[in-house]
Chains A and B, each alone.
Chain A
Amino acid sequence: MSDAFPRGRTAIVGAATFGIGKAPGFEASDLAAKASIAALAQAGLKPSDVDGLFFCHPTDTLGGLSFAQYLGIQPKFVDNNRLGGSSFQAYVELAAWLLAAGAIEVALIAYGSNQATASGKLVNTVRPMTYEAPYAPLNPVSSYALAAARYMHEFGARREQLGEVALAARGWAQLNPEAFKRDPLTMETYLASRMVSDPLSVLDCCLVTDGAGALVMTRTDRARDIAAKPVFVLGAASETTHREIAWMPDLTTTGAARAGARAYAQAGVKASDIDVAETYDAFTINTILFLEDLGFCPKGEGARFVEGGAIAPGGALPVNTHGGGLSCVHPGMNGIFTLIEAVRQLRGEGGDRQITGAKLALAHGNGGVLSSQSVVILGAPETL
């Protein structure tokens, strides 16, 4: 069966963030609107040009409708999906299809959250599942901890190797003026950090910050006219394997394996072609699992793969070059920021953390507890 994904027929023409870290005084939609206006302006567009809106509000289940109203637009199509952190990659996938089919002309993908200043902790609107609630897992941490424990059992991985992921993220964050956590982090500090849900400690867990991001997509023909540096969507694919962790078929292999394989096939590239990989690092174990599932190393090798600063600045593979959810930003759902960082790298806007000559980027999203996975392959003009 052929996958007729419209490779390179759509492009990202705007990518912007707002309020990364702490943004007191703003509501979630205020933050998302500021990012949206900035992203649209990069392509000379206004809210009234948007006819496809893809928006997920952290707490308002009808947030997509609310945000259309906030922007004063009446879109032909609104997607208000709640896949969790992978929502934004799935939005790119769907927007590419809708744009290529001519159903919409301009897609705005946006997210904002003020969870850090509003509550100071992870905003969780999820109802505890009947068959989990009696055991009081500290979700989402405990679910990821169960995956990490299983991974360490099967492959003999050690906490120092999880620590390599945290150190690499901090290393990148130190090169990113926008990143929230930029103070030096040592392995000693990592290993001494307070355990939350074994084997994951505080420093294995993503930040809790405010922040907003927005992306603007249109068809390639128009993109070339309105954007200085359009970034092309070469592939986008998703897979959902479960909701709660007990029903994840195998705790050491995520749906990113099959989603990634489909996205690579659509794009006509393989993992070894990727210049920069932005994976969703809600927890340190994630990066290891996703590097394996996305083909950067064999299953079970991820913990060794990240050793010795291999994914840190100057390492063999640049991973999460903005500092990721661990050290840059994590306002509840992080997928939009892996996309924005990929776009910035392909436009050459990475500043001190720029990967010289980056032409192909992977931006991955993870939702739930390793539940929903989406992979987007983006390319500079040379990759078309």
Chain B
Amino acid sequence: MADAGPDEQFRAFLREGRFMLQRAASDGRFVFYPRAVAPGDGAALEWVEASGRGRVYSTTVVRKKPPEPSYNVALIDLAEGPRMMSRVEGVAPEDVKIGMAVRARIVVSGDEPFVVFEPEVDAE
């Protein structure tokens, strides 16, 4: 891994089907997006598998001219702490609600793997 930068490592994990976050060696804070050093204190970072659980912090629908479908863009607060931009699938884009419990899924578009979310089935 010494040759691969943080972005490349993140993508390599995704290709293996693993959504990984970084954690600061200093105080255990989770970090997203991938970096070479931890924000704030510059601490070393280690990779840890994400739980995949999160909640919708905010949501919008990008409106397209029909027949092109409108789609969701959301900010997800991960259970581990970091927030990321993503989208919630498996539900109409306007039915994505703030506070909704969601779970991560890895999808591949072209050659690029990335993380999307779906509503948590057994949400409390």
Contact = CB atoms under 8 A, between A and B. Distances in A.
B87 A135 contact: yes
A135 B60 contact: no
Interface stretch (A49-57, A113-121, A161-169, A239-247): A239-247
Chain A interface mostly helix, strand, loop or mixed?
A: mixed
B33 interface: yes
B59 interface: yes
Interface stretch (A37-45, A82-90, A141-149): A141-149
Contact of B75 (A134, A194, A246): A246
A134 B33 CA distance: 14
Contacts of B94: 198
Chain B interface mostly helix, strand, loop or mixed?
A: strand
Contacts of B98: 149-150, 153
A134 B58 contact: no
Contacts of A246: 75, 83-85
B37 interface: no
Nearest to B63: A195
A134 B63 contact: no
B61 A146 contact: no
B84 A198 contact: no
B85 A132 contact: yes
Nearest to A147: B58
Nearest to B87: A135
B63 A245 contact: no
Contact of A149 (B59, B62, B71, B84): B59
A239 B17 CA distance: 39
A302 to B, nearest CB: 17
Interface residues of A, number: 27
A134 B73 contact: no
B57 A134 contact: no
Contacts of B85: 131-132, 135, 137, 244-246
Contacts of B75: 146, 245-246, 251
A355 interface: no
A149 B98 CA distance: 9
A153 B63 contact: no
A150 B32 CA distance: 21
Contacts of B57: 150, 251
Contact of A251 (B58, B61, B63, B84): B58
A296 to B, nearest CB: 24
A228 B81 CA distance: 56
B112 interface: yes
B47 interface: no
Contacts of B61: 195, 197-198
B6 to A, nearest CB: 11
A196 interface: yes
A352 B60 CA distance: 39
B109 A136 contact: no
Contacts of B62: 136-138, 142, 196-197
A356 interface: no
A272 interface: no
B88 to A, nearest CB: 10
Contacts of A142: 60, 62, 73
Nearest to A151: B58
Interface in A156-213: 194-200
Contacts of A197: 60-63, 73
A147 to B, nearest CB: 7
A250 to B, nearest CB: 10
A130 interface: yes
A303 B32 CA distance: 33
Contacts of A131: 32-33, 84-85
A146 B86 CA distance: 12
B73 A136 contact: yes
A153 B96 CA distance: 13
Contact of B33 (A130, A149, A194, A245): A130
Contacts of B84: 131, 246
B3 to A, nearest CB: 19
Contacts of A245: 75, 85
A147 B112 CA distance: 28
Interface in B76-124: 83-87, 94, 98-99, 109, 112, 114
Given A136-B71, A142-B73, A153-B98, A130 B59 contact: no
8 contacts: A131-B84, A136-B73, A142-B73, A145-B60, A146-B60, A147-B58, A197-B73, A247-B83
Given A149-B59, A194-B63, 9 more contacts: A130-B7, A134-B112, A135-B86, A135-B87, A136-B71, A146-B60, A146-B73, A153-B99, A198-B94
Interface of A: 130-132, 134-138, 142, 145-147, 149-150, 153, 194-200, 244-247, 251
